[in-house]
Amino acid sequence: MIRISRQSRYFDSLRNYKIYIDDIYCGDIKDNEVKELNIENGEHSILLKIDWCTSNKVTFIAKDNELKEFNCGNSMEGLKCLLVFVYITFLKNNYLFIN
């Protein structure tokens, strides 16, 4: 099982992020939501998307009776908010994060 916690941020607060596990769409996560998903044992990857922007891809191994926890959100914090247009164009694969 995995648990994904989304941080609340001003940017995207009214929008959902799409969750992809092994490049397969598995649902959405809302602002400030915690979502739990059951997955099979083995090696998997997880990625988030919003429009044309994505997060980093994280690879992990799922085991029986083990909970994998991830935090996610967007990178628009502090002075980075002034660079929003740079992030949604040139740094579109770094706009979201998951770790």
The enclosing domain of 61 has a CATH number of: 2.60.40.1120
Task: Count how many domains the chain has.
Answer: 1
Q: Look up the pTM and report it.
A: 0.92
Sign of CA dihedral 55, 10, 30, 40: positive
CA distances (Å), 46 to each of 4, 55, 76, 78, 86, in order? 10, 9, 21, 26, 24
Backbone angles phi, psi at 62, to 5 degrees: -95, 135
Residue 71 in tokens: 């935090």
pLDDT value, residue 66: 95
63, two tokens: 């085991």
pLDDT value at residue 83: 83
What integer pLDDT is reported at residue 81 of this predicted model? 79
Where do the H-state alpha helices sit in 12-93? 84-89
Domain boundaries, position 75: 2-98
- What pLDDT is stored for residue 88 in this prediction? 87
In order along the chain (99 residues), what is the average pLDDT of each group of 10 residues?
95 95 98 97 98 96 95 89 86 94
